[in-house]
């Protein structure tokens, strides 16, 4: 089957996502598959990467979280359990759970690690759904992070816990000042884990033994970060995007956007000097922005037809954005980003032109996918 230029970019994005997180693939709405873009919210839908039109829909009627594009299988958590769907045609493969909420998992080495409202972290075979182990902890749990030879998880209890991924045995537990805002994030080569709390605080632990490396108290509630080899990038409730030193947490730069930032910043694999964030502006509007990772300068931004609580998914010529009730929005990128994506230039103003396409799939839930509170 021939692929459009955007589909080819999606293939590149897929490889870039795997490279950034080692083998681990994390939940993201939307997420990229070589032949389409997968979106959650109400069931699961695959969209054509060139037009945004729906190719298939599965798990109809289920309230779902962010999908995880893991090769031939797409995994997704929901209000009634964990589900696996065949990526090519949308055929359900298996389900796991007792009817309570399970968040979408992190997938690595053919295994999925999933947690949820029942306070249980479980390891299952991604292809078959076979349960390999499960461990009950205190309170409900957000999705874990895989950091080297540790699976690190937290949630409502004021604790961060690391487990051995082979056996599920607890390796260390650290008390923290408040419950987590959302899932923890891992640093390069899995040496470091960063968690944000409702204190608000940002905490960095050594993954191997749980040693606290640094702690900061930001000005506003801060959400799950993006981490690269030098910096930790965070968005907050007051519309700030900040970059901090991976080594000691000191502030490197700050950018201000108008709204609330709950989306996890996403690195742009086509334009490696950029990252993308989504912004909420009230109940029914938002914004997307591409910023330079080195300086925080805004490269391009554009108003969105709905609030954006998930990270935009950039391609070569357009970007896929989950916008709540407005569905998947697919605006085209400006020519200068397409022609010369790495060139530094002046900030481009927010545009008002119509989007390239609106997908046939519409997300009905206006509740973010587990971010910032109990499901």
pLDDT at 343: 55
DSSP 134-153: EEE-SS-B---EEETTEEEE
CA distance 182 to 173: 18
pLDDT-derived band at 49, boundaries 50, 70, 90 = confident
Q: Check residue 180 and report its DSSP letter.
A: B
Q: Would residue 369 count as lying in a domain?
A: no
Say which CATH number the domain at 181 has.
2.130.10.10
Q: Check residue 337 and report its DSSP letter.
A: H
Q: What is the mean pLDDT of residues 313-334?
A: 90
pTM beyond 0.85: yes
Residue 372 pLDDT greater than 60, yes or no: no
Q: Is 101 helix (H, G, I), strand (E, B) or coil?
A: coil
Q: Would residue 374 count as lying in a domain?
A: no
CA distance 255 to 142: 28
Residue 345 pLDDT greater than 80, yes or no: no
Q: What is the mean pLDDT of residues 170-179?
A: 96
Instruction: List CB contacts of 268: < 8 A, sequence separation 6 or more.
Output: 274, 275, 276, 290, 314
Peptide bond preceding 200: is omega within 30 degrees of 0, i.e. cis?
yes
Q: Would residue 316 count as lying in a domain?
A: yes
Determine contact, residues 307/324, Cβ cutoff 8 Å. yes
Q: For 351-366, what is each residue's pLDDT tens digit?
A: 322 222 333 333 333 2
Average pLDDT, the chain: 86
Q: Would residue 366 count as lying in a domain?
A: no
pLDDT at 324: 79
Residue 4 pLDDT greater than 80, yes or no: no
Q: Would residue 371 count as lying in a domain?
A: no
Peptide bond preceding 30: is omega within 30 degrees of 0, i.e. cis?
yes
Look-up: residue for tokens 């994005």? 13
CA distance 321 to 303: 11
Q: For 235-264, what is each residue's pLDDT tens digit?
A: 999 999 999 999 999 999 999 998 999 999
Strands 226-227 and 266-267: unpaired
Q: Would residue 10 count as lying in a domain?
A: yes
Lowest mean pLDDT among 158-162, 317-321, 360-364: 360-364
Q: Would residue 373 count as lying in a domain?
A: no
pLDDT-derived band at 340, boundaries 50, 70, 90 = low
Q: How many domains does the chain have?
A: 1
Which residue range forms the structural domain that includes residue 31? Answer: 5-358
Q: Would residue 314 count as lying in a domain?
A: yes
pLDDT-derived band at 342, boundaries 50, 70, 90 = low
Determine contact, residues 291/274, Cβ cutoff 8 Å. yes
């Amino acid at each position: 089957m021939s692929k459009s230029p955007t589909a080819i970019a999606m293939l590149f994005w897929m490889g870039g996502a795997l490279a950034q997180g080692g083998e681990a693939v994390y939940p993201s709405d939307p997420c990229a598959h070589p032949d389409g873009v997968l979106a959650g919210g109400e069931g699961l839908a695959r969209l054509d990467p060139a037009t945004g039109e729906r190719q298939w829909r599965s798990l109809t009627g289920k309230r779902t979280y962010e999908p995880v594009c893991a090769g031939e299988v797409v995994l997704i958590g929901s209000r009634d359990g964990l589900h696996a769907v065949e990526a090519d045609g949308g055929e359900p493969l298996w389900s796991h759970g007792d009817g309570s909420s399970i968040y979408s998992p992190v997938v690595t080495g053919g295994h999925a690690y999933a947690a949820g409202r029942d306070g249980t972290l479980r390891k299952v075979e991604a292809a078959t759904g076979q349960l390999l182990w499960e461990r009950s902890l205190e309170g409900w749990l957000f999705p874990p992070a895989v950091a080297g030879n540790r699976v690190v998880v937290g949630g409502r209890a004021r604790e961060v816990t690391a487990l051995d991924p082979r056996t599920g045995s607890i390796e260390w537990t650290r008390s923290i000042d408040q419950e987590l805002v959302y899932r923890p994030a891992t640093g390069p080569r899995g040496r470091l884990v960063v968690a944000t709390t409702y204190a608000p605080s940002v905490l960095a632990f050594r993954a191997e033994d749980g040693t606290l490396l640094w702690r900061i108290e930001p000005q506003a509630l801060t959400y799950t970060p993006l981490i690269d080899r030098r910096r930790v990038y965070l968005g907050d409730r007051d519309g700030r995007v900040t970059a901090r030193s991976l080594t000691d947490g000191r502030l490197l730069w700050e950018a201000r956007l108008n709204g609330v930032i709950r989306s996890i910043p996403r690195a742009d694999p086509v334009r490696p000097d950029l990252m993308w964030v989504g912004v909420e502006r009230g109940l029914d509007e938002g914004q997307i922005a591409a910023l330079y990772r080195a300086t925080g300068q805004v490269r391009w931004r554009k108003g969105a037809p709905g609030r954006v609580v998930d990270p935009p998914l950039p391609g070569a010529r357009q970007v896929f954005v989950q916008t709540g009730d407005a569905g998947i929005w697919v605006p085209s990128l400006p020519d200068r980003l397409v022609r010369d994506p790495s060139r530094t230039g002046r900030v481009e103003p927010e545009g008002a032109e119509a989007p390239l396409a609106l997908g046939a799939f519409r997300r009905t839930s206006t509740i973010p996918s587990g971010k910032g509170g109990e499901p």
